Structure 1
Amino acid sequence: MSGELSPIDKAKFVAAKRSVDYVEDGMRVGLGTGSTAAWMVRCLGELVRDDGLKIRGVPSSTRTAELARDVGIEVISIDEAKWLDLTIDGADEFDGNLNLIKGGGGALLQEKIVATASDQMIVIADIGKEVEHLGAFPLPVEVIPFGWQTTRALIEELLVSMDVLGRDASLRMNGRHPYVTDEGNYILDLHLGRIGDPHQMAMVLNQMPGVVENGLFMDICDIVIIGHGNGKVETRDINEGTVEEDRLDFVESDNLFSDLQD
């Protein structure tokens, strides 16, 4: 496998591979969305196929649900599960307090519902996702289509009084048409540069009519697993205050990752 993967994909893979060590037989597991989460779903599928692992997965998007079924994971809804033992997901950014920006893949609403309905949330990411201050990655905000331009104008007006470097809000597009989430909503990407007070930002955005949810995941993540291109894996547990390092080897084999596209 090592000859087939770029350094960034190696980093994603080793983080995903380490994360499934937390999954135990009989668990209800939240399955995240995005390129790194896709590696994790494939790793779980391999355990289901080869080791007989029995879990029920609650996907955070339709595309994750399709992938999970393809690799043999039993898929149930969040309402069927009621509560989850664990959620594993990626992130677009994370800071030293394990606060996150998520939503680059357009699934932030369902991702936040799944994560907050879990006993524990593990984030898997490559080392490039770590930042000193959140905000370099555009902050996704899910809004209802009705009056979205008014909502955008109100958000940009709000940002004048916030501790940010930029104030532009752009509608996410899918070709010539607005990107539509699984819940039928639009996404505004806020180009902020730096968010001085992310807790305040998350709170005031969700108080605005027209806003469904924002991509700031505050005080939700318990563990972040960081992958490096050389196979090194760093695990930070914010509750235990521990940092552990390990290294995973790559093995050339015909496995479930052969057709995975980033």
Structure 2
Amino acid sequence: MNQDQLKQLVGRAALDHVPAGQVLGVGTGSTVDCFIDALAARIAAGAIAIPGAVSSSERSTQRLRSHGIQVLDASEVTGLAVYVDGADEIDGRGFMIKGGGAALTREKIVADLAETFVCIADESKLVKTLGRFPLPVEIIPMAAAQLARRFARLGGEARLREGVVTDNGGHILDVRGLAIDDPLAFETEVNQWPGVVTVGVFARHRAQVCLLGAADGVKTLRF
């Protein structure tokens, strides 16, 4: 199977983790698009009913609404049983790099509401050490040069993602050349730097379940 087929495979597999009758957290990205489409088909068939979803981006909000699924604001819920989202990288402990779609801040907000984070990804996203994928960092624009220098002292090369403004009005630095051996400590440190809105390491909000699409089917990893 090609990568698109693997995304569809895990998107459908994630439906087994959707709690009927409860508001669902929904992430962002091409794999999540497949999940939203599969969810809508399941709802249309009468196989599942949910009162709505909390979305992590305008992109996902539009896709959910196009299928007639009600989108709730995060402020309207006090918690979520499940949050379904993709990852740019995930390691063997459930720690992830996210933010390739520039929605990392809102993704962390929705993930923080959820009891269980279900990551859906193809097997190419599973890595031993985080950092092969350029690390996205949402920043306040005036801090870009200052933050690039700080990442350089860690051995990283930070570049501004041209033409990208997040749903929050922030900019994105992509940092290459890092090997993140201690994701929790790294996330805690970088989040304290002035000008950082959110770093794309998801350690405090790691996945509890990963549905990994492979040529021989979906592998379920639990952390």
TM over 0.5: yes
Cross-structure match for 2:156: 167
One-letter amino acid of the structure 1 residue matched with residue 212 of structure 2: I
| CA deviation string 1:200-246 (max 9, x = no partner) | 2111101100001111111521100011245x0111122xxxxxxxx
Asked whether the equivalents of residues 139 and 191 of structure 1 are also in contact (C-alpha less than 8 Å), the reply is yes
**45-54 or 113-122, which moves further after superposition?**
45-54
Q: How big is the alpha-carbon RMSD for the aligned residues of Structure 1 and Structure 2? A: 1.4
Q: For 2:83, what is the secondary structure of its paired residue?
A: strand
One-letter amino acid of the structure 1 residue matched with residue 21 of structure 2: G
Residue 151 of structure 1 deviates from its aligned partner by 2.7
One-letter amino acid of the structure 1 residue matched with residue 100 of structure 2: G
Residue 138 of structure 1 pairs with residue 134 of structure 2: yes
Cross-structure match for 2:55: 59
CA distance in 2, matches of 1:229, 1:92: 19
Asked whether the equivalents of residues 172 and 186 of structure 1 are also in contact (C-alpha less than 8 Å), the reply is yes
CA distance in 2, matches of 1:100, 1:147: 25
CA distance in 1, matches of 2:189, 2:96: 17
> TM-score, normalization: structure 1?
0.81
Seen in structure 2, the aligned counterparts of structure 1 residues 16 and 86 have a Cα distance that, compared at 3 Å, is same
Q: For 1:51, what is the secondary structure of its paired residue?
A: coil
Cross-structure match for 1:21: 16
Q: Which segments of 5 or more consecutive residues in structure 1 lack a partner in the other structure? A: 1-5, 160-165, 239-262
* 1:90 equivalent among 79, 86, 89: 86
> TM-score, normalization: structure 2?
0.94
Asked whether the equivalents of residues 109 and 213 of structure 1 are also in contact (C-alpha less than 8 Å), the reply is yes
* 1:43 equivalent among 38, 47, 56: 38
Residue 127 of structure 1 deviates from its aligned partner by 0.5
Q: Which segments of 5 or more consecutive residues in structure 2 lack a partner in the other structure? A: none
Aligned pairs (5 A) from 1:52-201 = 53-55=48-50, 56-157=52-153, 159=154, 166-174=155-163, 179-201=164-186
**44-53 or 104-113, which moves further after superposition?**
44-53
Aligned residues with identical type, % of pairs: 38
Aligned pairs (5 A) from 1:211-226 = 211-219=196-204, 220-226=206-212
Asked whether the equivalents of residues 33 and 60 of structure 1 are also in contact (C-alpha less than 8 Å), the reply is yes
How many residues matched? 221
Larger Rg: 1
Asked whether the equivalents of residues 55 and 71 of structure 2 are also in contact (C-alpha less than 8 Å), the reply is yes
Cross-structure match for 1:258: none
Cross-structure match for 1:260: none
CA distance in 2, matches of 1:138, 1:32: 19
CA distance in 2, matches of 1:124, 1:52: 21
CA distance in 1, matches of 2:147, 2:127: 29
